[in-house]
Amino acid sequence: MPHRLESESRKLLGRLREALATDNEGQARLDAVVELIADSMLTEVCSIYLFRDAETLELCATKGLQAEAVHQTRMRLGEGLVGRTAKSRTVINTADAPASKGFRYMPETGEERYSSFCGVPIQRLGDVLGVLVVQSKAAREYTLDEVYALEIVAMVIAEMTELGAFVGEGAALSARHQQPVMLRGSIAQEGASEGVVYLHEPRVVVTNPISDDPETEGARLRDAIEELRKGVDNMLMGARSADADQVQVLEAYRMFANSTSWLKRMEEDVKSGLSAEAAVEKEQSHARSRLSRAADPYLRERLHDLDDLSNRLLRILTGQGAEARADMPDNPILVARNIGPGELLEYGKKIRGIVLEEGSVGSHAAIVARAWAIPLIINAKGVTREALNGDPILVDGDQGIAHLRPDETVQAAFRDKIAMQTRAQERYASIRDLPAETKCGKHISLQMNAGLIADLPSLAGSGAEGVGLFRTELQFLIRTQMPRRAELSALYARVLKAADGKRVAFRTLDIGSDKVLTYMKPNDEPNPAMGWRAIRVGLDKPGVLRMQLQALLRAANGQPLTVMFPFVTQINEFRAARAEMDKAIARETKLGHALPSKLEVGAMLETPSLAYAPDAFFEEVDFISIGGNDLKQFFFAADRENERVRKRYDTLDSSFLAFLTHVINRCEKTGTPLSFCGEDAGRPVEALCFAALGLRTLSMRPASVGPVKHLLRRVNLDEVKAVMDEAIANGDQSVRRAVADWLVYQV
């Protein structure tokens, strides 16, 4: 950029800062801004349009158009050149506006007299807040330098809008992050809860978009880049050369961090008067708007890398790291782009609700949320952008809707809903000590899934008969280092004590897939769900498995013990794991330690292959537990974490039910006890159908025991089975509709 223009735009920014620093209210500030830009750029018209709502732009200030049009002229997103600028997130620069595609004549503005038009999106981190427009009578395209200066100014306007500098009368001038917003996502855990936003990743707040001294600012930027580069280099050195994928990602990172064009663009922005932070955000905004248009997966990934690097750079510049997290409020609703199970476990049960921008129902974080009965909404687009720490929020997990900063009517209706749910819970509590016995006299053993000591109090509260699945890996996930045998043994002993004689089926470590231990060598695999996980790790590197089995035997200390192995796909895997147990027993015997009075060793059936294992397998195992979450993903070849494909396949799909029937028949033939412990067991209609097929033990999250029992006690399983059979005979893909229709008249 020529030196003259550079200093021109710096001058403009300097004047802008003065205008913005006044005590004026929002409208006066906006008026001053348009005046100033029109004057500096020697153009007849300068206008600012801001979003009134997600779809409507409103003229909020103008120099040159009719003053009466302010707050009257509106256009839809995509409508007219202004609407198109916002929609395309790109600059529209034309010498002949009336002849341009999309031009819309608005008589109230007197606009037809202006030939040239340049619209620049006012955007912050890819979020378009409005449009800055200049127009002139002379038919000319604005020069690249002029457009650049407008972009710089638009960046400052965006930052100031975010900071609430233009708050005033009218919807479009209300402070951002203050209006009620309803966000629609998908249901991942039902329930309703009221609380305040707690951001998993705090937003970086830039308070100084304009710099005083470009020299110093440039030095700050270069120092920060240097620190960023060093950080990336250290990460690269830390990455093991064996982790080719990780190294590749970091190499790409390094390439960006060292990109001279990236730095140069930011340096130019700084020379033009932006602060280093604003310059980084300006580049980040560009990358995000490109990301929104890019279809090529490789390009998208690279743009994601750039976005990530920009975040790191911003944190270096502002000193606002993850450690700058706000104090956790009393009733926190966690808002995040996504979250892993380990991170969620770290927050613990204090979280009252979770709203994720991404996420998936099948993920382990979702399982943890369900186990804790925390309402969870996933795919709530825009939530991380809209929500601020401390904002009031209502999470309606039943509808998959979050109400951010709700108004009073929404709040009142919501509280009624919570009261209704409390009454339903009371109903369930009243049947807590009654058996889950159907009208036809069949007893279904309802057990609960657990994984932490903190889950155990639910055993008595829920009315579960035992713990059908104790996910031992959750204990490993909440730690920063591998627990020792003595610690584990003490922990399992506490679990058994809390269970007070009720059976607890301890599942050995199921690490891998989305359960990643920070203290274990990362294992980059193209498809971790089908990769080196669970018993595969246990058998290949038996150290941890052995330690765990020993810890379990010692914890039992003469009491009955139940252990099951996850993700067994073949008879030989079960035999090898069982042999480890036998060795552990031999060792304990040698040491003179007490052995369990009764030992059950089972396998989880989570892949279709195991259903076709030789009879010997069904005879050798003490029991089988169907892990429906994994089983379904492999049966339908549909990733449990990919919402798009997961939802296509119903658990009550006739083919899946036929498969379950096959497993039930095989177990009946050999007299092998069979249970189902995937998430579906906790859904009342699914539980009912499983029971009708012949499953007699179901293990679920504690909060489901009441609703499942409530339904089971009101039905005759033979009738349910007849309805299912008829639907299947009719060729229905799923029996859900038939069963649901039938239920309407039963209960």
Q: Which residues bind Mg ion (CB under 5 A)?
A: 606, 627, 630
The contacts of residue 599 (CB under 8 Å, 6+ apart) are 560, 561, 562, 563, 581, 585, 622
677 binds, among Mg ion, ligand PEP, none (CB under 5 to 8 A by kind): ligand PEP
Only one of the segments 28-36, 65-73, 627-635, 729-737 lies at the binding site for ligand PEP (rule: CB under 6 A); that segment is 627-635
Length of the chain: 747
Q: Which of Mg ion, ligand PEP, none is residue 126 near (CB under 5 to 8 Å by kind)? A: none
| Residue with smaller CB distance to Mg ion, 194 or 514 | 514
Q: How far is the CB of 451 from ligand PEP (least distance, A)?
A: 9
How many residues interact with ligand PEP (rule CB under 6 A)?
A: 11
Query: For residue 591, what are its two tokens?
Result: 């040491």
- The nearest distance, CB 630 to ligand PEP, in angstroms, is 3
Contact 410, 396 (CB under 8 A): no
- Mode of pairing for the β-strands spanning 401-404 and 332-336: unpaired
Q: Does 702 bind ligand PEP (CB under 6 A)?
A: no
CA 542 to chain centroid, in Å, comes to 34
**Shortest distance in whole angstroms from residue 491 CB to ligand PEP:** 18
Q: Is 469 in the site for ligand PEP (CB under 6 A)?
A: yes
C-beta of 322: minimal distance to Mg ion in Å? 30
* Contacts of the segment 169-172: beta carbons below 8 A, 24+ positions apart: 169/27, 169/71, 170/52, 170/58, 170/60, 170/71, 171/52, 171/53, 171/58, 172/50, 172/51, 172/52, 172/58, 172/60, 172/71
Among residues 136, 145, 106, the alpha carbon closest in space to that of 118 is found at 136
Q: Which stretch binds ligand PEP (CB under 6 A): 85-93, 389-397, 430-438, 623-631?
A: 623-631
Distance from C-alpha of 173 to C-alpha of 164, rounded to nearest angstrom: 9
The minimum distance between CB 510 and ligand PEP, in angstroms, equals 5
Beta bridge partners of residue 47, listed in sequence order: 62, 133
Whole-angstrom distance, CA of residue 132 vs CA of residue 62: 10
- Which C-beta is closer to ligand PEP: that of 61 or that of 610? 610
- To ligand PEP, the closest distance from the beta carbon of 606 in angstroms equals 5
Binding range to ligand PEP, per CB under 6 A, among 169-177, 222-230, 548-556, 622-630: 622-630
Q: Which residue is nearest to ligand PEP (CB)?
A: 627
CA torsion, points 674, 679, 683, 689, in degrees to nearest 10? -30
Residue with tokens 């972009």, as numbered in its chain? 151
CB of 629 to ligand PEP, least distance (A): 3
Whichever of 301 and 639 has its CB closer to ligand PEP, that residue is 639
The rounded distance, in Å, linking the Cα atoms of 145 and 1 is 7
Site string for ligand PEP, 567-606 (x = CB under 6 A): ---------------------------------------x
Q: Work out which of 678, 702, 706, 707 binds ligand PEP, going by CB under 6 A.
A: 678
- C-alpha distance from residue 131 to each of 127, 380, 479, 571, 708 (Å): 12, 26, 49, 65, 54
The alpha carbon dihedral of 370, 707, 563, 491 has a sign of positive
CB of 483 to ligand PEP, least distance (A): 19
Give min distance, CB of 363 to ligand PEP, in A.
9
Q: How far apart are CA 337 and CA 203, in angstroms?
A: 12
Give the other-Cβ count within 10 Å of 521's Cβ.
9
Structure tokens at 144: 């690249």
Span near ligand PEP by CB under 6 A; candidates 145-153, 339-347, 590-598, 625-633: 625-633
Single out the residue of 588, 630, 643, 686 in contact with ligand PEP (rule: CB under 6 A). Answer: 630
Cβ nearer to Mg ion, comparing 580 with 630: 630
Nearer to ligand PEP, 469 or 717 (CB): 469
Q: From the CB of 205, what's the least distance to ligand PEP, in Å?
A: 38
SS3 content of the chain, % helix, strand, coil (to 5): 50, 15, 30
Shortest CA distance to 292 belongs to which of 98, 125, 60, 54?
A: 125
* Three-state secondary structure string covering 670-730: HCCCEEECCHHHHCHHHHHHHHHHCCCEEEECHHHHHHHHHHHCCCCHHHHHHHHHHHHHC
Shortest separation between residue 705's beta carbon and ligand PEP, angstroms: 16
Give the containing element (helix H, strand E) for 583. Answer: helix 571-590
Comparing CB distances to ligand PEP, the nearer of 119 and 628 is 628
Q: Quick one: 465 or 510, whose CB is closer to ligand PEP?
A: 510
Partner whose footprint covers residue 239, from ligand PEP, Mg ion, none (CB < 5 to 8 Å by kind): none
Our finding on whether 628 is near ligand PEP (CB under 6 A) is yes
Closest CA to 162 of 212, 221, 209: 209
Q: Strand 74-76's sheet: what is its strand order?
A: 74-76, 56-63, 45-53, 127-136, 116-124, 92-94
Question: Which CB, 126 or 682, lies closer to ligand PEP?
Answer: 682
- Return the residue nearest Mg ion (CB atom): 630
Smallest gap, in angstroms, from Cβ of residue 586 to ligand PEP? Answer: 29
Applying the rule CB under 6 A, the residues between 484 and 513 that interact with ligand PEP are 510
Q: Segment near ligand PEP (CB under 6 A), from 480-488, 628-636, 650-658, 715-723?
A: 628-636
Footprint on residues 317-356 left by ligand PEP (CB under 6 A) = none
| Distance of closest approach, residue 604 Cβ to Mg ion, in angstroms | 7
Judged by beta carbon, residue 111 or residue 606, the one nearer Mg ion is 606
Rounded to the nearest whole angstrom, what is the least distance from the CB of residue 364 to ligand PEP in the complex?
6
Q: Tell me which of Mg ion, ligand PEP, none is bound by residue 471, counting a contact when its beta carbon lies within the kind-specific cut-off of 5 to 8 angstroms.
A: ligand PEP
Query: Which residues 6+ apart lie within 8 Å of 429 measured at CB?
Result: 706
Residue 97 near which of ligand PEP, Mg ion, none (CB within 5-8 Å, type-dependent): none
Query: Sheet of 192-199: strands edge to edge?
Result: 181-184, 401-404, 392-396, 192-199, 332-336, 353-356, 376-378, 186-189
| Residue environment code for 484-504, b if the CB has 16+ CB neighbours within 10 A, otherwise e | eeeebbebbbebbebbeebbb
Q: Give SS3 for 300.
A: helix
Nearer to Mg ion, 283 or 514 (CB): 514
Q: Of 609 and 730, which CB lies nearer to ligand PEP in the complex structure?
A: 609
- Contact by Cβ (8 Å): 451, 474: yes
| Residue 554 interacting entry, from Mg ion, ligand PEP, none, C-beta within 5 to 8 Å by type | none
Residues paired with residue 634 on neighbouring β-strands, in sequence order: none
353 binds, among Mg ion, ligand PEP, none (CB under 5 to 8 A by kind): none
Task: Kindly state the smallest distance separating residue 649's Cβ from ligand PEP, in Å.
Answer: 15
Q: Which is nearer to ligand PEP, 606 or 653 (CB)?
A: 606
Out of 65, 677, 692, 717, name the contact with ligand PEP by CB under 6 A: 677
* Residue 91: CB minimum distance to Mg ion, A: 51
DSSP notation for 151-211? HHHHHHHHHHHHTTTT--SSGGGSPTT-S-EEEE-EEEE--EEEEEEEESSPPP-----B-
Helix (H, G, I), strand (E, B) or coil at 656: helix
Interface residues toward ligand PEP, by CB under 6 A: 367, 469, 471, 510, 606, 627-630, 677-678
